[in-house]
Structure formats: structure tokens, C-alpha cells
Amino acid sequence: MSLNFPNEALSNMNSHPSTPDMLVRMLDSMTVEEKIGQMSQFFGYDEQISEHLAHSIRQGRVGSVLNEVRLDTVNELQRLAVEESRLGIPLLIGRDVIHGFNTIFPIPLGQAASWCPETVKKCAHISALEAATTGINWTFAPMIDISRDPRWGRIAESLGEDPHLCSVLGVAMLEGFQGEQLDKTGSIAACAKHFAGYGAGESGRDYSTTNIPENELRNVYLPPFKAAADAGVATFMSAFSDLNGVPASGNKWLMTDILRKEWNYKGFVVSDWESIQQLTTHGFSKDNKDAAYEATDAGIDMEMVSSTYLDHLPALLAEGRIDIQQINTAVKKILQLKWQLGLFDNPYTDASLLPIPMNSQHLQIAKDAAIQSCVLLKNDNDILPLSADSLNSVAIIGPLADDPYEQLGTWIFDGDSQHSQTCLTAIEQELSGKASTHYVKAIETSRSYDQTDFKQAIESAAAADVALLILGEESILSGEAHCRAEIGLPGCQEQLIDAIAKTGTPIVLVIMAGRPLTIETVLPKVAAVLFAWHPGTMGGPAISDLLFGKASPSGKLPVTFPRKVGQVPIYYAQKHSGKPATEAAFVHMNDIPVHSPQTSLGMAATHLDTHFSPLFPFGFGLSYMQFRYQNLQLSHKVLHLGETLTVRVLLTNTGDTYGEEIAQLYIRDLVGSVTRPVKELKDFKRVKLAAGASEWVTFELSTDKLAFYDRNMQLVTEAGQFQIWLGGCSQTGPQDEFEIVDA
């Protein structure tokens, strides 16, 4: 049913500017108070519109409202803005739409494990369509912080540790949100966050200090943001954190020198939640007035939730500490986005023009995404896939086997767990009429230490052909402010595995989690491990299809798994030290003779109490198929600067059924004016192959893709020798060399 709006509102809309030139004229007609109002975002999540919010909108003192998702209320907020304020400027309606709205997809880190830009784009597009049904027109995603510390709770919201993978998938996500053009029904504005370095907080603690040398910042942490800016992301968000002594929300070098001047970014920047007034907490400003000055001077165009702009910008203008041109620049960008979204032509939402949320197509795409995101880490003796026809009894054990809420993951404000399909339900449906199932929760929650129900779980496993253990982390254990010092399986889950292992029944372990976990001690006790992240609404059917061979695992790790927390940070693109870790140099502490002289140790960059390698490397993931890489070929052994290298390899599916493989291209620049990583991902492709089929997989690698920031912070490609790998993981694949020479 179409919505009916007052004629006065329609008349008011028709008189609004419809071109950028008219926006400039509108800006010229605004009072200072109205301009500062456009720079202010209010929190609107109440049972009804508060009189304070309504009055502020009528006075033109609100540019955006955050976290209102009731359609009638949102349309009323827009009516107040366009009909009852002096200039009738519509509102931006913001919401954290991170990995779904009503239909919940795998957490972003899980989506990154798909290594599939098309899948990520589809998930974001559906998220936008569903969010738009409630009047939302702005989301605070994608989060493209490089994340190399699994203790950090927000690694769940990230796209992993690698600048190239994060850049490609981040662009795919923002394109999914924003669509072909922002004013198309169902498109919403995206926001690249958190600018910048937020993922590198000390000790993996949220909001913590970050210290990142400029060269590292430019080569590792900034590339995804540059890619988002180049792709036309509508907005940026400043980080909570202090970067090298200057908090991001007051960092003029980041917001003005890099983002606006160097990158020529034309969109606007919003602060994170109250991060402007938190400049005072940082000790960067003496009070909220000073904080408002620092943020405005840095280039923060809109303040989220707190009111330092409303409270203090008029006085700062009067005192001459800031000038009106700074205000005008910010407001013009905000108005520009509202015009691009088509809000001046129609600020209202008619949900009947959009697909019904959680329809069958949305659910199917959620299932497909969950299938692609799951990573098979272990599969001894090819225990997977299970054959339903050859099983008599299956034990299904664990607190996450039938918990529709926990499988959704972090930051799912609008997801409804009533619609989740769990592992237990899906597996029981798969085995109906074929094998008996016995479900034992065993542990009340993932954090519980109560072993009261272990006996029932042991008896169930002992009587079964296979024990399916569905374990991991509850969703609340990852996400913002949910950081962990120890990242093993929480509670008494490992003790449960020990108890079940003693029955002799083979264990297939499915892990749902928001981060990599340290599961080294668990691996010898289980026959298979399927890492499912938090898979979302359709996690159960996706996992069941993988367990029983209706689909084959194809996910690859977007982040390195450490053996122990003490290895953190550990990531594939590390640099050689002067004494790099090698097998020959490695000595475990238990093998060192008593009273050994110091020179008996390997004198290498290793720990004494664990191997220097990760538990599972970046890019790793098993399949039910075997994929063979052969005949790596390079079009040139010597290239001039500006030329392109064609790289190809023959990929064969040696298995007996269809499968998908993610071919990954890595390089190493052997000598640079600054030290270079031992490997860098430069490209990847998801390849579909029938049983026994072969295909040449080809990549085009221009010398521009080998550029990096040198010691003078200039982006350059340097001549020299390079190694190249093409395989299914950062640690495998045929290798060759080439050289770049000056033109």
C-alpha cells in the first residue's frame, strides 16, 4: 500500500533544490545555527519522538538522526524536517547495518573468508534493501581496519589482516550498499571506518592507543581507505583511537592533509560515537569547547550524538578561532550527500516499493554466503563429508548446536533469532529416516565451567558413529569493547572435548566464533575442524550441507591463526629480521641442555616455547577436492617500469566431484629502499572446476601494483628482483622469479 503524505509536504519538497548549484544558494540562505545543526547527529531511539528532538528538528538544528528504525517514526521525523523547519532540509537516518539487517549474513570476517567480492556485494545489497524499508539511508560500514590482533573484539567486524584483500572486499561491500547510484530506491550511503589505524590498538584492547610509523601506516593501514575513497564511498568515520599521540577525531594530518588534499576526497567525515568530546578524556583538549575546535579544525564535518558543535561552535566563530568557511565547507558536503540520495525530491519511504525482508532469495544468498565462508581446517582420513546412508547414530553436542541467537554474531541490532535455522534442526532434517540423532547441550553457555551434563554427552557419544561438537564463542564475546586476553575455547569446552575423545568415537568439531582461536591443543583430539565464524541466519543449513557433502568447503582464512596468544601479532606479511626464523635455527626450550651457553640457542627471531609458524596460515583452507597447481608461466623474466607481467598456472581438480578453489598470487620484493614483507598478496580468483577438469588461471600484474611508500613517503615502484608464487595458500604454490629494470 502506498503511503499518503500531506499536500503541504509535497509542495515543500517540490520547492527544494534539485541541483548542486541550488544547494549552494540554500547554503547562502542558512543561519549559523542552521549550519551547525546540519553538522549534528542526534540519538533518536525512543518509544516516541521526544519533544526535545522534535523541537530541535523544527529549529533546523538536526542534520541526522541515529538508530531510529520504525518506519512511521522515521517518516514523521522527515515530515518535521521538510514541512516544519524553515528550510525544509531532510534528514540522514543512520544505523549500524554491518552484516545484514533482518536477514543476517556471516560476520564480515566470515564473509572475508569467502574471498568472493561478488558474495560480499550481494550481502551488502540485500542489507541495504532491507534497511531501506525502515527509512534508513546511511550505514556505518564497511569497517576496513586492518586487523592483525585476534584479541581485538572488532576483528569480527573486519575483513582481515591483508591490505589487498581488505581493499577489494571493502570496495565490494560499499558498492553493494550504495548500488549503481545513491538515489535509486534501496541504495543507502556507506561509511568507511575507522580512519585510521584503529585495528592496531595496544594489547588488542578496543579504543586503545595506536603507534604506527608513517611508512607502515601508508603501506598497510591506509590502502583500504584509499581504495574506498577512489570507489566513491559516501562518508568516512574517524576512529576512537589515539594515533601516534593525536586522536583521530582531532587529527588534521589524517582528515585534511591525507584525506582531502592528498586523496582529493569530496565526501564528508562523521565522528564516531561521542569521540569529539572524548578528545578531552584523551587529554588532547582541555574541555568540550576546545574539543569542538580541534575536531572542526581537523575536518570532522558531523558530530555523532554528543553536542560539542551545537554548544560551542557559535562562540568559537565569534572568537575567530574558526571561520565561517570551515563551517560552510562541512555543511556543503552534508547537503551534497542528501541531494545525491534523492532526499530533497522524496525524503519519505514507501516500503511497498522494496522487497519484503527475509524473502526466500535473501535467505538463499545468506546460506550461500555461509557455505562460502566456512573454512575446513582439518579432515583426517577424509572423515568429511559424512555419508548419511552409512550412519546409524549421530551425537550432536554443544551449547551452540541449537542456539539461534548466538549464531548471528555481533552487531545485529535488527536481526531476529526466531528466523535463524540452527545446526541441530538442519542436521536432524538431513538424517531424518536415515540415522538416529541424540542431542545433548552438555554446557549451558560457551563460558560455563559446569560439567554436570558431561555424563549424558559422553554416553551419547559412546553410542554414536560420530560426535558432532558445535562449540566456540557466544556472540557477545566478540565485537566492540569485547576483547579477550586469552583466545582459546572459553569455559570448559576443551574439557568436554577431552571427555568425548576418551570414548573413541571420532569427533567432528564445528566452531562458531568471532575471531581466530588458539586451538592447537584441541587439534590432536578431533578428526575434523570446520571453522564457521558466526554464520548468520542460515548457518545451520549451510553447515549441514558441508558436513554431509551437499557442498564442498571453499573458504580460506583472511587472517592468521596463532598457536598461542604470545605469538600475537602474527601475520603472513611479516618482514625478515637480521636473524630470521628458520627450522635450522629453531630450538624448543625443552630441548636445551641445562647450563647451556647462550650461543647454543639458534640466535633467531623465535620464541623458545612454541614453533615460529602459525597454527594455520593466511589463505589456508581445505576442500573435499584436491587442487593441483602446475606449470607456472611468466610472460617476461625482465620487465621495464610501466609494463605488465602476465602470470598463469594450470589448475586441476583431481577430485571426483565439482569444487571451487581460490587461487592466490603473492610476490616478494627482495630488496627495497625500505624493508619489504616476505610475501604480499597481489591478486586472487575464485575458480570453479568440474571433477578432473583443468583450467589455466591467468593474472595480469602491472608494475604499478608493486608500488610501495619509500623512506621519503613517496609511492614508487623500484627496479630489482622479485619472487612470485601462485597457489592455494600463502605458504604453498609453485614459485618463480622476475626482474624489473628502469625504463
Q: Give the contacts of 562 (CB within 8 A, at least 6 positions apart).
A: 150, 516, 518, 568, 570, 614, 615
Query: Do 466 and 394 contact (CB within 8 A), yes or no?
Result: yes
Amino acid at 65: V
Query: Do 271 and 237 contact (CB within 8 A), yes or no?
Result: yes
Rg (CA), the chain: 27
Q: Give the contacts of 213 (CB within 8 A, at least 6 positions apart).
A: none
Query: Do 510 and 468 contact (CB within 8 A), yes or no?
Result: yes
Q: Secondary structure of 175-211 in the HEC alphabet?
A: HHHHCCCCCCCCCCECEEEEECCHHHCHHHCCCCCEC
Using alpha carbons only, give the angle 323, 326, 330 rounded to the nearest 5 degrees: 150
Alpha carbon distance, N-terminus to C-terminus of the chain: 65
Q: Give the alpha-carbon dihedral of 442, 446, 449, 450, to 10 degrees.
A: -30
Cis geometry, peptide bond prior to residue 196 (ω within 30 degrees of 0): yes
**452 half-sphere exposure, CB direction, 13 A CA radius:** 4
Partners of 466 in the β-ladder: 394
Q: Catalogue the active-site residues.
A: 272
Q: What is the C-alpha to C-alpha distance for residues 126 and 122, in angstroms, rounded to an integer? A: 6
User: 537 exposed, middle or buried (CB, 10 Å; 0-12, 13-18, 19+)?
Assistant: buried
Query: Do 491 and 445 contact (CB within 8 A), yes or no?
Result: yes
DSSP 8-state assignment for residue 72? H
Q: Secondary structure of 340-362 in the HEC alphabet?
A: HCCCCCCCCCCHHHCCCCCCHHH
Query: Do 316 and 296 contact (CB within 8 A), yes or no?
Result: yes
In 3-state terms the chain splits into helix, strand, coil percentages (rounded to 5) of 35, 20, 45
Q: What is the C-alpha to C-alpha distance for residues 520 and 679, in angstroms, rounded to an integer? A: 24
Cis geometry, peptide bond prior to residue 593 (ω within 30 degrees of 0): no
Containing 618, the helix (H) or strand (E) segment is none
Q: Strand, coil or helix: what is 146? A: coil
Phi, psi of 58 (to 5 degrees): -60, -30
Partners of 723 in the β-ladder: 668, 737
Q: Give the contacts of 334 (CB within 8 A, at least 6 positions apart).
A: 38, 39, 63, 92, 268, 301, 302
Q: What is the C-alpha to C-alpha distance for residues 483 and 324, in angstroms, rounded to an integer? A: 42
Amino acid at 153: G
Partners of 667 in the β-ladder: 680, 724
